[in-house]
Amino acid sequence: MNSLRLILTKKETYASFASSLCLLFFLLLNGCATSQPTAPPTIAAPVASVPSSSQLSDKRIRAVLNKAYTTHKNNQNGKNADYIKALAEVDSRLFGITVVTADGRVFDIGDTQSKFSIQSISKVFTYAKIMQENGPAVVREKIGVNATGLPFNSVMAIELIPTRSVNPFVNAGAIASTSLVAAKNSAGRWKSIKANMDAFAANELEFNEVVYDSEVNDNLGNQAISKLLQAKGRIYSDPLEATTVYTKQCSVNVTSHDLAVMGAVLANRGINPISGKKIIDAANTPYILSVMATAGLYDNAGGWLYETGTPAKSGVGGGILAVVPGKLAIGVFSPPLDGFGNSVRGQLAAASIIKDLGINPYAFGE
User: What residue ranges bind ligand GLN (CB under 6 A)?
Assistant: 119-120, 152-153, 171, 215, 222, 250, 315-316, 341
Of 112 and 120, the one with the shorter C-beta distance to ligand GLN is: 120
CA pair distance 268, 358, nearest whole angstrom: 19
Distance from chain centroid for Cα 354: 13
CA triplet 94, 294, 359: central angle to 5 degrees? 65
Select from 350, 178, 167 the least CA-distant residue to 259: 350
126 Rama sector, left if φ>0, alpha if ψ -120 to 50, beta otherwise: alpha
| Minimum gap (Å) between residue 348 Cβ and ligand GLN | 19
Of 196 and 249, the one with the shorter C-beta distance to ligand GLN is: 249
Q: How many CA atoms lie within 13 A of 361 on its CB side?
A: 15
CA pair distance 85, 80, nearest whole angstrom: 10
Query: Judging by beta carbons within 10 Å of its beta carbon (0-12, 13-18, 19+), is residue 40 exposed, middle or buried?
Result: exposed
Contact between 136 and 281 (Cβ < 8 Å): no
Select from 253, 247, 259 the least CA-distant residue to 328: 259
DSSP state of 134: H
Of 215 and 299, the one with the shorter C-beta distance to ligand GLN is: 215
| Minimum gap (Å) between residue 223 Cβ and ligand GLN | 11
What kind and span of H or E run contains 25? helix 2-34
Give me the residue whose beta carbon is nearest to ligand GLN.
Answer: 120
Q: How many residues does the chain have?
A: 366
Of 103 and 238, the one with the shorter C-beta distance to ligand GLN is: 238
| Minimum gap (Å) between residue 129 Cβ and ligand GLN | 17
Of 50 and 201, the one with the shorter C-beta distance to ligand GLN is: 201
| Minimum gap (Å) between residue 120 Cβ and ligand GLN | 3
Of 250 and 279, the one with the shorter C-beta distance to ligand GLN is: 250
| Minimum gap (Å) between residue 246 Cβ and ligand GLN | 7
DSSP state of 252: B
CA pair distance 60, 128, nearest whole angstrom: 31
What amino acid is encoded at 115 in this protein?
K
Of 308 and 314, the one with the shorter C-beta distance to ligand GLN is: 314
Largest CA distance in the chain: 111
Of 131 and 316, the one with the shorter C-beta distance to ligand GLN is: 316
CA triplet 209, 238, 210: central angle to 5 degrees? 10
CA pair distance 117, 211, nearest whole angstrom: 7
| Minimum gap (Å) between residue 314 Cβ and ligand GLN | 7
Of 340 and 356, the one with the shorter C-beta distance to ligand GLN is: 340
